[in-house]
Amino acid sequence: MFLEEAAQKWENRHPMSVGRKADHLRICTEMAVEFRDKSTWLEDVHLLHDALAEGSLDEISTETRFMGRRLAASSI
C-alpha cells in the first residue's frame, strides 16, 4: 500500500511526466522506432560470483576521507 500511495503522490505532483512516459511506451511498442533492433549488449555481460576471501569482519574498514574529513561509514 505504501508504494501505491507514494506513486499516486508523485503522479499528482508530476502529471505531465506520467503522460509523457505513457506516450513514450506507446510509441516504442506500436510504431517503427529507429533503435528497435539495437541493443545495449548487456545480454552479453556475464557476471562472475567472486566472494570475499576468508577473513575477519574486524579487518574490514568502511572508513573514508571526503573533503578533508574522516567518515566512519561512507555513503557516497
The torsion of the CA quartet 4, 8, 19, 37, rounded to 10 degrees, works out to: -20
For residue 18, name the pLDDT band (cuts at 50, 70, 90).
Answer: confident
Determine the pLDDT at residue 3: 66
Nearest in space to 33 (alpha carbons), one of 42, 41, 25: 25
Query: Which tens digit of pLDDT belongs to each residue from 29-67?
Result: 888 877 767 788 888 999 998 877 777 778 888 888 888
Residue-range domain boundaries for the chain: 1-37
Give the global pTM: 0.32
Quote the pLDDT of residue 55. Answer: 76
**Quick one: pLDDT at residue 12?**
78
